[in-house]
A and B are shown apart, each in its own frame.
Chain A
Amino acid sequence: MIAPESEIGGVADDTPLAERIRRGDRAAEDQLIGLYSARVLAMTIVRIRDREAARELVDDIMMATVTALRRGTVRDTARLGAFIHGTALNLIHNHLRARCRMPRTAVLGDESLTPDLAEACEKDSDLQELRSCVERLSPQDQRVLFLSLSEGLKPGEIATRLGLSADVVRQQKSRALKRLKEMTNGASRVGVSEPHSDR
């Protein structure tokens, strides 16, 4: 049974954090960046499908957010996620428009808020660990996961490809994901996350 949202990670009120940033607290800015930059990066990668450009863009998004908070121009400070999402969408769309009009150049301000973002968000060691875990799965489990998570096939389609029933495919996929979760339990990137209540 799935617990209600409030029990497994309800949305925290960001107002105190926003107020600290407005007062010029640099530690609060770092906290905001720590909380959101990885999420914004994930979103940006999915939307522009260019990992390198996404990393640069996240800097701009977080900079725009912090600047607005410093100036006190954010209206709903209780839900900074919504503000960051809107800011990110605007900058992503601007980026896509600009990219199609002119040759791409790297334009970063002097003040880079997240110089080590790539390392913070995508630890190679974690990915390596996950790869080794995936390799330890049975070949059949790997095939089911690949066809499902990489190729986007539905269980019925995978079943036809592999000569199984759709129910068996669902079971294998579920078991394989569970097994991966057990194998990677405790890793910072791939493990089970803590509820969002540590602000």
Chain B
Amino acid sequence: MNCSVVVREEFAERYLLGQLSPAAQEAYEQHYLDCERCFGELQRLQAIQDALRAAPPAMSAPKSSRVWNPWWGWLATGTAAASLVAVVLLQQSRDPEQVAGNQNPAAAAAAAASSGEPEATSGRPVAEEAEGVTTTAAGDSPPESAKRPGPVSRQVEVLARLAQAEPPRYSATVLRGLADEATLRFQGGMKVYATRNFRGAVPILREAAALDPSRPDIAFFLGASELLSGDTAGAVTELRRTIAMGDTPFLEEAHFYLATAYLGRAEIQAARMELAAAAKSTGGAGQEAVELLAEMDKLDLR
């Protein structure tokens, strides 16, 4: 390896993003250990990356999505319960009588969303939805226009569906012979994952990923665990890394969960792109992606 190749192939950037193959990673490390110029460039990029991550720039969101930012923020936690509780709490704060007596939050959200009775799901004024601007203070009585059927119920449905998204399934593979260190770490992490302790699984899966960065299964479940524990930035990185590995068994699901991560960051366009990619699959993730895209189209979430 020489400096020309490092510059031309953007090794520093790809190295920091975990996009190099293990062999290229080693070759690049050996190079910059002896090359002041290339190490200086790596340090500079690393510092820029740190600075950007410490203070991420505001992404211009589509107008229609502005009203949704707090909701997607809830989704960032990746927990269905929290999101659904948020839905129901909002409903109760708007119209407590309509939801009184409903013992099942998920059923409340789903039933309200699918019943075509928007007054049972939200008192948010239609004008507010259209403009994406909050104009009604908490505790204010909603105007009559709020009683009209509108897209809010469908938005709640989309939210509920996203919130109900289950963690990706994992089936342990029994391997003959001696498993390598990365596999042992991965299996350990997935035992924690199976207990739905996603936050606990993350550091172990990170170790596995560090031991073998080329494994799509490790990258995928690390990304999923980060997503489900609320680290959308980490999830985006790992799921994108999974996708960059090409045609693997995790490709479609990685697109789907990456879309969820983007929704958690209120990045609707990016989420749509990933859903579109997932929709090309004929599996379960593909079908879910198609349905979500259709719902987002109806709501004009672009």
Among B77-127, those with CB < 8 Å from A are none
A 41-53 binary contact with B (CB < 8 Å = 1; else 0)? 0110011111000
Asked if B34 is at the interface (CB within 8 A of a chain A CB), the reply is yes
A99 contacts which chain B residues (CB < 8 A)?
207
Binds A, one of B43-51, B161-169, B170-178, B248-256: B43-51
Contact A194 to B188, CB < 8 A, known contacts A42-B46, A49-B206, A150-B52 = no
CB distance from A92 to the nearest CB of B (A): 8
Q: Once the chains bind, are A161 and B16 in contact (CB under 8 Å)? A: no
Asked if A106 is at the interface (CB within 8 A of a chain B CB), the reply is no
Q: Once the chains bind, are B185 and A100 in contact (CB under 8 Å)? A: yes
Contact A81 to B240, CB < 8 A, known contacts A139-B58, A196-B35 = no
The interface centre, meaning the residue of A46, A82, A184, A192 with most chain B CB atoms within 10 A of its CB, is A46
Binds B, one of A68-76, A108-116, A125-133: A125-133
Q: Once the chains bind, are A134 and B51 in contact (CB under 8 Å)? A: yes
Contact A81 to B33, CB < 8 A, known contacts A96-B210, A127-B50, A142-B52 = yes
The interface centre, meaning the residue of B7, B13, B19, B29 with most chain A CB atoms within 10 A of its CB, is B29
Asked if A102 is at the interface (CB within 8 A of a chain B CB), the reply is no
A 141-176 binary contact with B (CB < 8 Å = 1; else 0)? 011011011111100010011100000000000000
Among B22-81, those with CB < 8 Å from A are 26, 29-30, 32-60
Which listed residue, B4, B34, B206, B273, touches A157 by the CB 8 Å rule? B273
A 1-31 binary contact with B (CB < 8 Å = 1; else 0)? 0111100110110000000000000000000
A146 contacts which chain B residues (CB < 8 A)?
52, 56-57
Q: Size of chain A's interface in residues, with CB distance under 8 A?
A: 66
Q: Once the chains bind, are B52 and A145 in contact (CB under 8 Å)? A: yes
Q: Once the chains bind, are A196 and B43 in contact (CB under 8 Å)? A: no
Q: Once the chains bind, are A151 and B240 in contact (CB under 8 Å)? A: yes
Which listed residue, B29, B39, B47, touches A193 by the CB 8 Å rule? B39
CB distance from B268 to the nearest CB of A (A): 10
Which listed residue, A2, A97, A196, touches B7 by the CB 8 Å rule? A2
CB distance from A153 to the nearest CB of B (A): 8
Interface residues on B, range: 35 or more
Q: Once the chains bind, are A4 and B4 in contact (CB under 8 Å)? A: yes
B 193-209 binary contact with A (CB < 8 Å = 1; else 0)? 00000000000101100
CB distance from A179 to the nearest CB of B (A): 11
Query: How many angstroms from the CA of A100 to the CA of B270 in the assembled complex?
Result: 36
Query: How many angstroms from the CA of A193 to the CA of B3 in the assembled complex?
Result: 14
Query: How many angstroms from the CA of A36 to the CA of B39 in the assembled complex?
Result: 10
Among B213-246, those with CB < 8 Å from A are 233, 236-237, 240-241, 244
Query: How many angstroms from the CA of A104 to the CA of B35 in the assembled complex?
Result: 34
Query: How many angstroms from the CA of A199 to the CA of B84 in the assembled complex?
Result: 63
Closest to B41 in A: A193
Contact A4 to B2, CB < 8 A, known contacts A126-B47, A131-B51, A131-B55 = yes
Q: Once the chains bind, are B4 and A9 in contact (CB under 8 Å)? A: no
Which listed residue, B42, B204, B206, B237, touches A42 by the CB 8 Å rule? B42
B244 contacts which chain A residues (CB < 8 A)?
152
B155 contacts which chain A residues (CB < 8 A)?
none
Contact A8 to B3, CB < 8 A, known contacts A43-B29, A149-B45 = yes
Q: Once the chains bind, are B3 and A134 in contact (CB under 8 Å)? A: no
Closest to A12 in B: B34
B188 contacts which chain A residues (CB < 8 A)?
100
Q: Once the chains bind, are A85 and B29 in contact (CB under 8 Å)? A: yes
Q: Once the chains bind, are A48 and B34 in contact (CB under 8 Å)? A: no
Q: Once the chains bind, are B19 and A152 in contact (CB under 8 Å)? A: yes
Query: How many angstroms from the CA of A168 to the CA of B289 in the assembled complex?
Result: 31
Q: List 23 A-B contacts (CB under 8 A).
A: A2-B4, A9-B36, A38-B43, A46-B15, A47-B210, A48-B207, A81-B33, A85-B29, A131-B51, A139-B58, A143-B57, A149-B49, A149-B52, A151-B237, A151-B240, A152-B17, A152-B240, A157-B273, A161-B59, A190-B43, A193-B39, A193-B41, A196-B37
Known pairs A2-B3, A8-B3; list 7 more (Cβ under 8 Å): A4-B2, A5-B2, A9-B35, A42-B46, A131-B51, A152-B244, A161-B59
